[in-house]
Structure 1
Amino acid sequence: MVNYQAASLDRTFAALADPTRRALLARLDDEPSVTVSELARPFPVSLPAIMKHLDVLSDAGLIVRTKTGRTVACQLSPAPMEQAMEWLSRYERYWTDQLDRLAAFLEQDQWQPSPASPSSVSSRPRRKKSTKRGRSRSK
């Protein structure tokens, strides 16, 4: 079961990695059931390219395709995204806890910058003396 969930998450994140596929999902979120032709219309790529993107989304379980006669319609299937959000929220809680601990530590530690010690003034590197510009004499 764990391997299945990991593979499912991998497919979900891989499908969401492409901007065209994310745009297709956003369009399906706005319109519940859209034909493949209608989905492909606003994109500057060919219909076969859109079909390949839809295959990836379908393999990840993010969309469901239904065929009525010669027309194929697509619908959004949010379950894999819910699993991905659960996975991400676990890490969000982890980083929120870590950042809260860091903030508490910084608020607790009331450090004051130490004044410059007398030894640090004398240990500064000295400036180089400037030389005249022009040709240098060689002996």
Structure 2
Amino acid sequence: MSTAYQERDVYVAIADPTRRKLIRLLADSEEVPLYELTPHFQIGRTAVSKHLAILKKADLVTNRKVGRETRYRLNAAPLQEVKDWLAFYEKFWNERAILLKNILEE
């Protein structure tokens, strides 16, 4: 798998706990400037910015300049792909749970 593909891959983007936390923080707000996101992490502003860039390449984040600051917003649409992929496994485990329940009731 090429590096360029991985950078745009929503699964690669959400694989990192820092990026998942960024997604969660952005989900709670309309738009958030970088300086408001940085205090939530034990890493520097540059590192947070790099994580946001990866999320942006995966189309999970949009940004816009307002004066000298950049504000970030969540674009949750690509997460639908993850939800659809997980739906199969939810069905798989639900079927297994029903089977186990039936076995235990016998």
Using structure 2 for the length normalisation, give the TM-score: 0.80
Which consecutive unaligned segments of at least 5 residues does structure 1 have? 1-6, 109-139
Deviation at 1:93, TM superposition (A): 0.6
- Write out aligned runs for 1:79-98 (5 A): 79-98=77-96
Provide the C-alpha distance between the structure 2 equivalents of 1:103 and 1:37, rounded to a whole number of angstroms.
Answer: 51
* Aligned-partner SS, 1:45: coil
Query: Could you say which structure has the greater relative contact order, defined with CA pairs below 8 angstroms and 6 or more residues apart?
Result: 2
Q: How does 1:1-139 map to 2 (within 5 A)?
A: 11-108=9-106
Identify which range, 52-61 or 96-105, moves more after superposition.
96-105
Residues in 2 aligned to 1:100 and 1:31: alpha-carbon distance in whole angstroms: 39
Percent of residue pairs identical: 35
TM-score of the superposition, structure 1-length normalised?
A: 0.63
User: Which range is displaced more, 79-88 or 99-108?
Assistant: 99-108
Query: 1:91: how far off?
Result: 1.1
Deviation at 1:53, TM superposition (A): 0.4
- The answer to which structure has the higher helix fraction is 2
The whole-number CA distance in structure 2 between the counterparts of 1:106 and 1:46 is 52
How large is the RMSD of aligned CA atoms in angstroms?
2.1
Task: Give how far 1:106 is off.
Answer: 4.3
Inter-partner Cα distance in structure 2 for 1:90 and 1:106:
25
Q: 1:42 to 1:96 in 2, by over 3 A?
A: closer
